[in-house]
Amino acid sequence: MGATKSDFFSDQQNEMAQLLKALAHPARIAIVEYLLNVDSCICGDIVNELPLAQPTVSQHLKELKNANIIQGTIEGTSICYCLNSETIALLEAFFGGISNKLKNKCC
């Protein structure tokens, strides 16, 4: 089999692309912002915060969870979600590195 295009990029570049792809929807950004403002929540709380149907919110949560941006624990019949601090640290380091390099550059 031939190489896929992702084979031409480093593991770090592919990982960052997957994270950014998972965040590339306004509903997912809204979910991340919501989780930043609460200690923990259940899926129903998130559904009440977004103008989307419950199955749609569940799909967005699934995408964020698959990318390890959020993590969830089952408590009875609910799932409590929170941000994965390790993944958020990766995003912070990536964008912080860009920001630091841009400080001394001009066009």
Closest CA to 42 of 56, 28, 58: 58
CATH number of the domain to which 19 belongs: 1.10.10.10
Query: If you average pLDDT over residues 55-72, what whole number do you get?
Result: 94
pLDDT of residue 62: 94
Q: Indicate whether 4 belongs to any domain.
A: no
- For CA atoms 66, 69, 74, 78, the dihedral sign is negative
Name the residue range of residue 80's domain.
11-98
What's the confidence (pLDDT) of residue 64? Answer: 96
56 located within any domain: yes
What domain count does the chain have? 1
How confident is the model over 14-38, as pLDDT tens digits?
999 999 999 999 999 999 999 999 8
Tens of pLDDT, residues 76-107: 778 889 999 999 999 999 999 888 888 777 66
